[in-house]
Amino acid sequence: MKARTGKTAAPKIENIDQETRLRLYRLMVELRDFEQRAYDLFMENLIRGTSHLALGQEAIAAGYAVAMREDDYTFCTYRGHDHTLARGASMAAALGELLGRANGMMHGKGGSMHLTDVAHGAMGSYAIVGAHLPIAAGAAWSAQARKSGQVAVCFFGDGTTNIGAFHEALNLAVVWKLPVVFVCENNQYMEYTPIRSVTAVEHPAADRAAAYGLERILVDGNDVEVMHETATRTIGRARSGDGPSLVEALTYRHGGHSRGDPATYRPKDEVREWMSRDPVQTYRERLGSLGVEESVLRKIDDESQEKVDIATDEARKAPPARVEDIETQVWSDGGSAWRS
Amino acid sequence: MAELTYREAVAAGIAQEMRRDPTVYFIGEDVAAAGGVFKATVGLLDQFGPDRVRDTPISEQAIVGAAMGAAMTGLKPIVEIMFSDFLATCWDMIANQVAKTRYMTDGQVSLPLVIRTANGGGSRFGAQHSQSLENWAMAVPGLKVVAPSTPADAKGLLAAAIRDPDPVLFFEQKSLYGIKGEVPDGEHVDSLGTARVLRHGNDCTIVALAAMVPRALAAAAELESEGIHATVVDVRCLVPLDTRTILGEVSRTGRLFTVEENPRLCGWGAEIASIAAEECFDDLDGPIVRITTPHVPLPAAQPMEDAAMPTVARIVKTVRGAMR
């Protein structure tokens, strides 16, 4: 366990107010309930194709999203439901997209792996490992050029640290001093294989920070206050013109890599250990010990369930995605014409 | 009209658009201080400064990825990929990300970006620095594909590509960089998706692209002296494809020849041949004939490379043989 979670920086929690704490808790609960509902809809065979749930990784998405400015940019991976929703995207539209309905966030053209809601700064879920790191750097370059003060935050898995685009993006971001934060969600497994068995260093992101002249940042990704503090610090650094950061947040997937993966390759004691550090449950307990009334937490829990239920109902009732739209939106004129 | 080289026309096109639109930025390897390895971007750094004209590391994924992220968020980036062969190192960015993101998000983003690249053979660089790769791009929905054959088109079509709201792959033929031609004075903007009839004849239509255009014209002149009157069409733009102009000439002349620098399989000419066969079969007086490089990597040695690519002599011989 110790070797897996590593030595993280001691949490330096300062001045976090009650309102922020409850926001963080509410967001984590909503993300948890949404992903659990997505799982249930799979079991009902209502969701086709594949899906990659972030159950167990909510603290990273919530910690960052709460620390971001409304016009900041989020770039994430195919495990991107949480990051997209955390920016304020509609749950009904997300579920609709998973179900292939006309009300889907991209009206059926994207699917689970590509949730995008530009209006909320969710600039896309990218399904080719590593691709979105240079793209996030590009959004940061644009923010820098436009002097907009925006920051791009790019979330990716541990497996991404072994692909070339990771290194190309980090190098460029440092050389151009771009306002971008790279957040590695180290959930210990690149798909099915333990990350440590295929990586030259113990901590796939943190141990490579020095190669780009960056601070080594290794944090407990299951502690939402640690994540919020890390987010505030790294986003602040980017916004003030001091350049990029590379964060490694240690976490764990509650389930397998994707829909079809029961994750039997993971040792039982490892799973048990990590489940005992569930970010939602542990934070709920911490809030209780800090004096938050059980009724307040219960109300948040109930409201979250209700929100997911309403979204589910809306998505279930929505008509199927429109085949009439197959040949639209290839080009900016709305069409797909390739000849005269 | 000023006489410019093809490479000067490229720089002039970029400069014209950067002057006009402050959101146009230009990045690439050796493009700023060095003015490009083919000297097609000389002077841009001095004119527009290091914020807007930037050298990058040798990181093609970062170059195209950064352009995409910037295009999604308010800039109109131009990037240079030094040799088109290097597109292979960033093809994920181009084919999976740039080409598909607008569609996958159902129009939530536009990607106004231009990827310029030096394309094609004739420079004795060997198989990894000589390919003619327009067909790779043409095969991916979501990319516009342009390949000019003259200095005027290099400037005018590049300006149009930069103004276009969608991603454009702009193939500059490296063996054409030194040719000279008249370029209209003042602002010059052409239209994507327009072919041009460069020579009118009633016996057959020869369709060509980029470096094959001057060869097709030379072949047509030679055929003329033998009594074969050929129309020559410069395709200029593969996506959107000006089928109206091309099919109009094919129907009028009754014969179609394509001259393609690319290796044989799946060349752009095959697509045009297929469209012509489907849509003007009744107007054809004989088989459609494609003239291409054989289906081999391009060899380096001068006699081998010259003989592999379609030559004026091969075009003349093929057309003459088919028309007999």
The answer to whether residue B323 neighbours chain A at the CB level (below 8 Å) is no
- Per the CB < 8 A criterion, the answer to whether B25 and A145 are in contact is yes
Q: Kindly state the average pLDDT of the residues B26-55.
A: 97
> Which residues in B lie closer than 8 A to residue A132 (C-beta atoms)?
65, 97
pLDDT bin (cut points 50, 70, 90) of residue A2 is: very low
Q: How far apart are CA A103 and CA A316, in angstroms?
A: 10
CA distance B92 to chain A (A): 7
- The average pLDDT across A105-134 equals 97
pLDDT at A6 over 70: no
Q: What is the pTM (predicted TM-score) of this model?
A: 0.96
Tell me the nearest-neighbour CA distance from B300 into chain A, angstroms.
30
Contact residues on chain A for B68, CB-CB shorter than 8 A: 134-135, 138
Q: Using an 8 Å Cβ cutoff, are B259 and B317 in contact?
A: no
Active site (annotated) includes residue B200: no
**pLDDT classification of B299: cutoffs 50, 70, 90:** very high
Q: Under a CB-based contact definition with an 8 Å cutoff, are residues A105 and A117 in contact? A: yes
b/e sequence A29-61, b meaning 16+ C-beta within 10 Å: bbbbbbbebbbebbeeebbeebbbbbbbbbbbb
Name chain A contacts of B102, Cβ cutoff 8 Å.
329-332
Contact B103 A126 (CB under 8 A): no
The alpha carbon of residue B61 is apart from the nearest alpha carbon of chain A, in Å, by 6
Mean pLDDT of chain A: 95
Cβ under 8 Å to A: B residues 248-277: 275
Burial A7-25 (b: 16+ CB within 10 A, else e): ebeeeeeeeeeeeebebbb
Nearest-CA distance B241 → chain A (Å): 4
Kindly identify which residue of chain A lies nearest to residue B235, measuring between CA atoms: A339
Residue-wise pLDDT tens digits, B217-264: 999 999 999 999 999 999 999 999 999 999 999 999 999 999 999 999
For residue A117, the chain B residues in CB contact (below 8 A) are 108
Instruction: Read off φ and ψ for residue A49, nearest 5 degrees.
Output: 70, -140
Structure confidence by residue, pLDDT tens digits, B62-119? 999 999 999 999 999 999 999 999 999 999 999 999 999 999 999 999 999 999 999 9
A266-312 confidence digits (pLDDT tens): 999 999 999 999 999 999 999 999 999 999 999 999 999 999 999 99
CB distance from A55 to chain B under 8 Å? no
Q: Look at B106 and A109 and tell me if their CB atoms are within 8 Å.
A: yes
Interval B153-176 mean pLDDT? 98
Chain B contact present for A169, CB below 8 A: yes
Number of H helices, E strands in chain A: 11, 8
pLDDT-based confidence at residue A15 (cuts at 50, 70, 90)? confident
For residues A132-153, one letter each, b for 16 or more C-beta atoms within 10 angstroms of the residue's C-beta and e for the rest, the string is bbbbbbbbbbbbbbeeeebbbb
Nearest to B5 by CA among B186, B122, B177: B177
φ, ψ of residue A332 to 5 degrees: the values are: -70, -15
Asked if the model's pLDDT at residue A9 lies above 90, the reply is no
A142 to B69: CB separation less than 8 angstroms, yes or no: yes
Task: Enumerate the residues of chain A whose CB falls inside 8 A of the CB of residue B93.
Answer: 131, 134-135
What percent of chain A is predicted at pLDDT more than 70?
96
Q: From the candidates A72, A97, A141, A146, which should be mutated to test the interface with B, based on the most B CB atoms within 10 A?
A: A141
Are the Cβ atoms of B102 and A331 closer than 8 angstroms? Answer: yes
Q: Which residue has the tokens 């239920």?
A: A309
A3 confidence band (pLDDT: 50, 70, 90): very low
Q: How far is CA B318 from CA A197, B128, B139, B315, B321, in A?
A: 60, 28, 27, 5, 5
Q: Is the pLDDT of residue A11 over 60?
A: no
pLDDT for the residue numbered A215: 98
Confidence grade of residue A260 (pLDDT, cut at 50, 70, 90):
confident
CB pair distance less than 8 Å for B57 and A171: yes
Q: What is the ipTM of this complex?
A: 0.97
Per the rule left: phi > 0, alpha: psi between -120 and 50, beta: everything else, A75 is: beta
Q: If you count DSSP H runs as helices and E runs as strands, how many of each does chain B have, helices first? A: 12, 14
A73 to chain B: which residues are within 8 Å by CB? 73
Residues 71-110 of A with CB under 8 A from B: 73, 75, 106-107, 109-110
- Count other Cβ atoms within 10 Å, centred on residue A164: 15
Does residue A74 contact residue A84 with C-beta atoms inside 8 Å?
yes
CB contact under 8 A, A137 and B72: no
